[in-house]
Structure 1
Amino acid sequence: MRELVRAYQAFESYTDENIRQLGLTSPQFDVIATLGNTTGMTMNTLAEKTLVTKGTLTGIVDRLEKKGFVRREVPEGDRRCFVIVLTPEGEQLFEQVFPAQIAYIKQRFDKLDSSDLEEILAALKKLRSIF
């Protein structure tokens, strides 16, 4: 179990370093990446997909809104809630940082051969299935 935690921490540390160089925090990147290629999401849906509590997510969205990357829209059919959408600047940021982050991560995974990747994937699927 300890090795799984260490692998997760190493992955987070590695990816967080690049995200910071892109000018974002990890939670901000998660929100931008989750909203990318969508028409927007309610805070509830966004919280579920990013695994961030709604209270924390409000602060993240507030900061991204101040930077001009997201905006809150009230849907016509339901004025009780709002949808978080990427602004044109947010879309541009997504198109820049998402591929950059994938390429950055891919550099590490390219060090593994295909049989190693298949074994890791199978083990992760098996692990997920027991929870």
Structure 2
Amino acid sequence: MTPEEAAREPFMTLIRELVRTYQAFESYAIPDIRRHGFNPAEFDVLMTLGNTPGMTLTELGESTLLFKTTLTSVVDRLQRKGLVQRVPCEEDRRRTYARLTEKGEATFREVFPAHIVHLKERMGQIPVRERNRLVKALREVRSYLDG
């Protein structure tokens, strides 16, 4: 197959639209995340740990989909900001928990609802039936990719 033929594959339209949609979402969401003083990876970790008693670093990595090396540096930065603490597991010294500090909890309680309000300005415009249809369609696309 030549590059020209590959570019004309019928499914490429779907791929282009998925990428453009993700880029549009990032273009809307990331400036708000930065306004709160975070980069997207830090924000992801902070929001994932919010409303939890903490997670092992392995669980946190699976929940955020960050690479282990990236996750370690993100947790380090959040720890330096006083938002996250590492807590050794008493039952298994090989495991470490990441947990929000009091300052981290306060930040989560402030930033998470504010970001949701920001997202709702655009995402809330999509009628419920249409949102449900889109969620179903995206899950179906993901099922093909998951194999």
| Amino acid paired to 1:41 | M
- Give 1:106 shift: 1.0
- Give 1:105 shift: 0.8
Q: Which has the larger radius of gyration?
A: 2
Structure 1 position 78 matched with structure 2 position 66? no
- What TM-score results when the alignment is normalised by the length of structure 2? 0.85
- Which of 105, 114, 117 is matched with 2:128 structurally? 114
Distance 1:45 1:105 in 2: 26
CA-based RMSD of the aligned residues comes to 1.1
- Give the SS at the match of 1:84: strand
Q: Paired residue for 1:87?
A: 101
- Give 1:85 shift: 0.5
After superposition, what is the alpha-carbon deviation per residue over 1:75-123, rounded to whole angstroms, capped at 9, x for unaligned? Answer: 2111122111000000001111111111111110122223322221221
Structure 1 position 53 matched with structure 2 position 57? no
| Amino acid paired to 2:95 | C
- Give 1:125 shift: 1.8
List aligned pairs for 1:5-44, cutoff 5 A: 5-44=19-58
- Which of 18, 26, 29 is matched with 1:4 structurally? 18
- Which of 92, 96, 111 is matched with 2:110 structurally? 96
Q: How many residues are aligned here?
A: 131
Residues 47-56 or 73-82, more deviating? 73-82
| Amino acid paired to 2:48 | T
- Give the SS at the match of 1:37: coil
After superposition, what is the alpha-carbon deviation per residue over 1:5-44, rounded to whole angstroms, capped at 9, x for unaligned? Answer: 0000110121111000011111011001110111111111
Q: Paired residue for 2:3?
A: none
Structure 1: segments with no counterpart, 5+ residues: none
- Give the SS at the match of 1:73: strand
Percent of pairs with identical residues: 47
